[in-house]
Structure 1
Amino acid sequence: MTTNDDAVDVSRSGFLGAPLDPASADRLAGAGLRYRSVPVDDPASFDPWVQVVARGFQDGERSAEQLAAIRERSAYRRVTGVYDGSAPDPDAPVATIASWIGELAVPGGVGIPSCAISAVTVAPTHRRRGIARAMLEGELRVAAASGAPAAMLTVSESTLYGRYGFASAASAAAWRIDVKRAAWTGPVPAGRVDFISRERLREHIPALHDSVRLGTPGEIDVPAGHWDTLAGTRPDAKDAGEVRAVQYADTSGTVRGLALYRVSENHDDHTKATVDVVYLLAADDDAYAALWRFFVELDLVGEVRARELSVDEPLWWMISDQRAATVTVSDHQYVRILDVPAALAARRYGAAGRLVLDVEDSLGFADGRFVLEVDADGSARATRTTDAAPDAISLSLGIRELAAVYLGGVSVVTLARAGLIAASDPVAAARMFGWHRTPRLSFWY
């Protein structure tokens, strides 16, 4: 597994300090609004921005302690707000967005720098004024200028981002397991599972995640603040004591798996508590089996729930009754290609071949014709061209469809049958873009 650290560092530093997009600033100024950067280290500017984000996601007002903790953990983010000088509180933005350059895992155990976007809100008092479009297009233009070949986000409203070229490239599965029916039939590893403190888990989880994340397309490097939120180790964490932590260590004593969970008591039947698996990280098959066995065999539990799992979890084949599990699949990790040759050349492919892609992009980042040549080992070269290339497989598609197939989680055949892709040989193209590891992202950002 490989990563291009130099490219990521250059993109991060250039992106974080880049000026605001002038086209978006002009568009918003025409609507009587001001588009400006928000310094994370300035409480007078940043704290109102945070409160507006919380309100936008229907959350409660942040306390002084929470605001201080958020400031401390937000230096990696590019923070932007849109302001209405005529509003009763002109210091509070009417729209927000945050972004940073993260590393997106793509097929082949490779990471590419990608613009991660979050905290997108527009006040209901200022909708339908083109504010969201100005912010998102502005971030994409800055990301492209900084050299990021892709952008990514997780979304609350799934219908909003297709217009900007994003598509769901890694779906997520939510599980509900009736453990009274689901006896464990999977392996029983020789290592051991033990309870640990949340602080110990927080200490070990970043390195363990970094050791395996590039093997799963769709995963990204996790900002430190996210681990503190998951583990409840932030000083402002609410109900942190309800979160419990366990680890799996192999026979040599090496920690190979970590998990966080909560228990909700059933006051009507004390043998049927509900367990919510907050996060489970397994570096190998033994850790995976041992941790899931721990949850399936917990005493006094009626149901185990987990979210942001893969759509093809091995767990499905490790319980005695598959009907004991209710699995719901939804969109999760969205991707947007900004530089087609760079993105296509970065990943590995499932089959050799030569492909000509005619890509349509209404925002202009990725319009054009491109040649993709894949060798027998799955490595690739991609270039822009104007040639017809009659000897190659032809593929005509929009930038959304390219994003959907990019991580290997959606088949070219599926989108061709849906009328979204025109291909001279969709089966051969599907073999090329296919990958043996289903894409997944294990958290929200």
Structure 2
Amino acid sequence: MTAHHRHHHDASLDRAMTDALAAGGLVVRRVDDTQRGETDPWLQAVARGFLDGERNDAQREAFFDRGAYRRKLGVFDESAPQPEVPVATFASWAAELTVPGGTVPSCAISSVTVAPTHRRRGILRELMAGELRTALDRGLPVAVLTVSEATIYGRFGFAPAAAAAQWRIDVHRARWIGPDAPGRVDFVTREQGRGVVEDLHERVRLTSPGEIEMPGGHWDRFFGTRPDAVKADQLRVVQYRSPAGEVDGVAVYRVTENEDDYTASVVDLSLLVAATDDAYAGLWRFFLSMDLIGTLNASELSTAEPLWWMIADQRAATITVRDHQYVRVLDVPRTLSARRYDVADAVVLEVADPLEIASGTFLVTTDADGTAAVDLVDDPPVGVPVVRLGVAELSAVLLGGVSPVTLAHAGRLTADDPARIARLFAWTTAPRLSFWY
């Protein structure tokens, strides 16, 4: 764990949060990463919150071995029959978020649960507000999360900023018309794939707005290389190697055989990481050329996949788009100055924040080289266009995934010149996040 990560991980609890929960007869504390007696009940509470069954010992041990990077909070009701099991959970860690043309430190949030026995007591609001204040205090200017329920987090200033596409492809209809990649595709072991994927993902994520560093333990989950992996023997791994011998891509999949019609078997593609256009083409052509496969399913794809233009029959693909990576700006100047812009301009943002963390009036001035200066101002300059929006709307446009013109038409922001603002925040690459956390 780096010093920056540890700085956030070990931060003291927000006093306003602890006092508010104590007033309701609840105690909030950090879970000790070195004690199974604390992490095991916390994990069971998380499983309960996500409607899962109880974790077995192998799962608890695997989490204990791989989850120490997370700052884990539990809210405890000491009058409950099981006082050691938290009635609410919250986890976070410091992670680098890719934004257009750059990166910014972020607070990644996960494992947010409140027991149904303790709903409507303001627990989540106090937890979220307190931990967001802590993240900002520890130098993390933006927060990110993926959600199981989309309607929860808007009230805290989060907004969907990178959508995910799920593809279902009729392989027999699709017919490959993309390029013939010059490298080769080979089967490798799950361990070999696990050995090359981290470097590949680093190459990809730094140019893909919306991606974050892969959280600890997730690679072993993808490749079935952790001791609690279920049906890992069903996973297959292939890699793409360039003519120069460089491994530029890797993919993980499983096949479900159709015993009534073997030519209608199904491939579920759980991961495809391609660091070059050739690797992308080579791996996708491999999957769309497999014998006995009728359907290919893939999720957490970009909304602007080149694959759309690599198949002859685009109607062979059924694509479903849904919200995925949520973003919440905490420090407007630091966050906006971390990304790059394609036009030189000046705008004023009047930002409203329901938690009063990022509220203010900001002058954003971009230069021809793409850099931005962002200043908190009392009196906006005359003649500079003004945008009035909430922190959720600002967070939504941060990665370039939605146009301010669209938000203006939806009544989510007001602007003197929405098209001018849209040109400022536009970016050439659609944002994406290739996994859940």
Instruction: State the 1:391 CA deviation.
Output: 2.4
1:91 to 81, 84, 94: 84
**For 1:41-80, what aligned pairs fall within 5 Å after superposition?**
41-80=34-73
Q: Give the corresponding residue for 1:169.
A: 161
Could you tell me whether the CA contact under 8 Å between 1:33 and 1:84 is conserved in 2?
A: yes
Q: Give the corresponding residue for 2:396.
A: 404
Query: Does 1:382 pair with 2:362?
Result: no
Map Cα deviations across residues 301-337 of structure 1 (whole Å, 9 max, x no partner): 1100000000010000101100000000000000000
1:337 to 315, 323, 329: 329
Letter in 2 for 1:305: N
Map Cα deviations across residues 282-313 of structure 1 (whole Å, 9 max, x no partner): 00100000111111111111100000000010
**For 1:115-264, what aligned pairs fall within 5 Å after superposition?**
115-264=107-256
Instruction: State the 1:156 CA deviation.
Output: 0.2
Aligned residues: 437
Query: Does 1:353 pair with 2:324?
Result: no
- What is the root-mean-square deviation in Å for CA atoms of aligned residues? 1.0
2:99 to 106, 110, 113: 106
Output the CA distance in 2 between the equivalents of 1:9 and 1:360: 34
Could you tell me whether the CA contact under 8 Å between 2:171 and 2:316 is conserved in 1?
A: yes
Instruction: State the 1:60 CA deviation.
Output: 2.2
Output the CA distance in 1 between the equivalents of 2:122 and 2:413: 30
Query: Does 1:296 pair with 2:285?
Result: no
1:82 to 75, 80, 100: 75
Instruction: State the 1:350 CA deviation.
Output: 2.3
SS of 1:308's partner is strand
Instruction: State the 1:194 CA deviation.
Output: 0.4
Instruction: State the 1:147 CA deviation.
Output: 1.1
2:13 to 9, 16, 20: 20
Could you tell me whether the CA contact under 8 Å between 1:336 and 1:400 is conserved in 2?
A: yes
Of all paired residues, the percent bearing the same amino acid is 56
Output the CA distance in 1 between the equivalents of 2:194 and 2:34: 25
Output the CA distance in 1 between the equivalents of 2:230 and 2:2: 34
After alignment, is 151-160 or 59-68 more displaced? Answer: 59-68
After alignment, is 17-26 or 305-314 more displaced? Answer: 17-26
Could you tell me whether the CA contact under 8 Å between 1:49 and 1:96 is conserved in 2?
A: yes
Output the CA distance in 2 between the equivalents of 1:22 and 1:161: 22
Letter in 2 for 1:225: G
Map Cα deviations across residues 3-42 of structure 1 (whole Å, 9 max, x no partner): xxxxx95542221111111111111111111111101210
Q: Which runs of 4+ in 1 moved over 6 A?
A: none
Could you tell me whether the CA contact under 8 Å between 1:11 and 1:113 is conserved in 2?
A: no
Could you tell me whether the CA contact under 8 Å between 2:90 and 2:110 is conserved in 1?
A: yes
Could you tell me whether the CA contact under 8 Å between 2:363 and 2:380 is conserved in 1?
A: no
Structure 2 unmatched runs, 5+: none
Query: Does 1:365 pair with 2:382?
Result: no
Output the CA distance in 2 between the equivalents of 1:125 and 1:364: 29
SS of 2:217's partner is helix
Q: Give the corresponding residue for 1:3.
A: none
Structure 1 unmatched runs, 5+: 1-7
Could you tell me whether the CA contact under 8 Å between 1:11 and 1:101 is conserved in 2?
A: yes
